[in-house]
């Protein structure tokens, strides 16, 4: 039996960091520091992106693949679900609880499906909305909109995102040269989040919401159109 230190490779350190930020985000959400929780999820997303980038260069192990999915469940499933449940103001608690639970359930279903897809498919596209993208959309609402607005729509938004995760809609996957600009952008946001949180809470949050919305709503249409052009 292999020892733990023999199983852990360099990409897995980023998965562990992802899980660390996700766990801290959960603790922040439990004490209702929702802004801090949302910012910690952004840091988790940066660690998750670095994990994927390093794994493509160094090679991913079966251990690392499972570790990545578990870390994603913590950071982009459980924590956003807590945020959804705590901030809903219009629906009964049982409704918001079910909506929040669907974020976790559909998220783990989405991750399980991704893990069994053939490498040829998983390298080209995402089938269903990626769980980090769903989490980014949720936290962008918390950061960019007034609390009373978010509380009224968050349960319905969570339900919609949960269904998108288990759908068969094709989303573009950014790898290689396409991934680097995205990681640079997330990295810069992460730096601002840590060093200048007050600046981040201004115009950046609005741009963040627009970017998250465009990926969720418009990128499947653009991706399908570009795919059809390439096939014709």
CATH code assigned at 116? 1.20.120
- What is the Cα 14 distance to its own chain's centre? 15
Q: Output the CA–CA distances (angstroms, integers) from residue 181 to 175, 187, 215, 227, in the order listed.
A: 10, 10, 15, 21
The model's pTM is 0.85
Percent of the chain with pLDDT over 90: 44
Burial of 12 (0-12, 13-18, 19+ CB in 10 A): buried
Report pLDDT digits (tens) over 116-164: 876 656 567 888 999 999 999 999 998 888 888 888 899 899 999 999 9
pLDDT score at 176: 56
Residues 6+ positions from 230 with CB-CB distance below 8 Å: none
| pLDDT level of residue 31 (50, 70, 90 thresholds) | very high
What are the strands, taking DSSP E only, across the chain?
A: 125-127, 170-172
pLDDT score at 93: 86
pLDDT score at 91: 83
Residue with tokens 């079966």: 62
Report pLDDT digits (tens) over 167-210: 999 998 766 566 666 667 767 776 776 666 666 666 778 888 89
| Domain count within the chain | 1
Burial of 63 (0-12, 13-18, 19+ CB in 10 A): middle
pLDDT score at 228: 45
Burial of 179 (0-12, 13-18, 19+ CB in 10 A): middle
pLDDT score at 232: 36
Residue 100 has pLDDT above 70, yes or no: yes
User: Which domain covers residue 17, as residue numbers?
Assistant: 4-231
Residue 2 has pLDDT above 60, yes or no: yes
Report pLDDT digits (tens) over 40-76: 998 999 899 888 878 777 777 889 889 999 999 999 9
d(CA 136, CA 19): 16
The residue among 115, 10, 126 whose CA lies nearest residue 73 is: 115
């Amino acid at each position: 039996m292999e020892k733990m230190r023999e199983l852990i490779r360099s990409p897995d350190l980023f998965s562990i960091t992802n899980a660390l930020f996700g766990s801290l985000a959960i603790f922040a959400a439990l004490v209702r520091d929702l802004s801090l929780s949302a910012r910690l999820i952004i840091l988790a997303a940066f660690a998750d992106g670095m994990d994927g980038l390093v794994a493509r260069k160094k090679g991913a192990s079966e251990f690392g693949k499972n570790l990545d999915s578990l870390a994603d469940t913590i950071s982009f499933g459980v924590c956003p679900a807590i945020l959804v449940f705590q901030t809903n103001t219009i629906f009964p608690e049982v409704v918001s609880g079910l909506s929040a639970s669907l974020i976790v359930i559909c998220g783990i279903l989405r991750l399980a499906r991704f893990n069994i897809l053939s490498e040829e498919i998983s390298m080209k596209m995402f089938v269903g909305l990626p769980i980090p993208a769903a989490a980014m959309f949720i936290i962008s609402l918390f950061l960019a909109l007034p609390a009373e607005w978010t509380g009224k729509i968050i349960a319905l938004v969570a339900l919609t995102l949960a269904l998108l995760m288990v759908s068969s809609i094709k989303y573009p996957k950014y790898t290689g040269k396409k991934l680097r600009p995205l990681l640079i952008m997330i990295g810069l946001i992460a730096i601002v989040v840590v060093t200048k949180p007050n600046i981040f809470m201004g115009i950046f949050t609005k741009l963040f919401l627009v970017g998250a919305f465009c990926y969720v709503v418009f990128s499947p249409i653009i991706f399908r159109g570009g795919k059809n052009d390439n096939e014709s």
